[in-house]
Amino acid sequence: MALERTFSIIKPDATERNLTGAVNAKIEEAGLRIVAQKRIQMTRGQAETFYAVHKERPFFGELVDFMISAPVVVQVLEGENAITKYRDVMGATNPEQAAEGTIRKAFAKSIGENSVHGSDAAETAAMEIAQFFSGNEIVG
Ligand code: ADP
Ligand code: MG
């Protein structure tokens, strides 16, 4: 098995409800290690760049507005198969379809305001980490 890193965001709906610690508990219970973390107010430009892959989707404007509506916590998570493992811990995009025990089942408000982001592949993880962290901010 491979030690991997993935990129995570605790989204505005979760930071607003003071759920940072509750989300982090689920991350750590799953065996993932938080090796970098900071609370930031995303700019519109940062959110548009981050979600550029979705720019043609009908929900893009709403998604960018949401991501800058309150602070977020950006993180790097490390562990065996961290990318897939975190996607499993997050649960389905739509909380109505998320499995019991997942972060989105427990906390998400809707398909848009769904509490967390996690990278979907090694290439996107590397790009997303690089958008928000410099190498010396990540301490494994
Ligand atoms: P995931 O975050 O599970 O990887 P996607 O990459 O498909 O999901 O979408 C990115 C984000 O866009 C979602 O987490 C959610 O915040 C938002 N989103 C996705 N689909 C919708 C939708 N149908 N309506 C509103 N927002 C959506
Ligand atoms: Mg995605």
113 touches 66 (CB < 8 A): yes
Q: Is 50 annotated as a binding residue?
A: no
- Which ligand is nearest to the Cα of residue 57, counting in written order? 1
pLDDT, tens digit (0-9, with 9 covering 90-100), for 109-133: 999 999 999 999 999 999 999 999 9
116 touches 27 (CB < 8 A): no
With a 6 A CB cut-off, is 26 part of the ligand 1 pocket? Answer: no
Q: What is d(CA 14, CA 30) in angstroms, rounded to the nearest whole number?
A: 19
3-state secondary structure of 99: coil
Is 0.75 surpassed by the pTM of this model? yes
Give distance in angstroms: CA of 18 to centre of ligand 1. Answer: 22
Ligand 1 pocket test: which of 11, 96, 111 has the largest number of ligand atoms within 8 Å of its C-beta? Answer: 111
Q: What is d(CA 120, CA 17) in angstroms, rounded to the nearest whole number?
A: 26
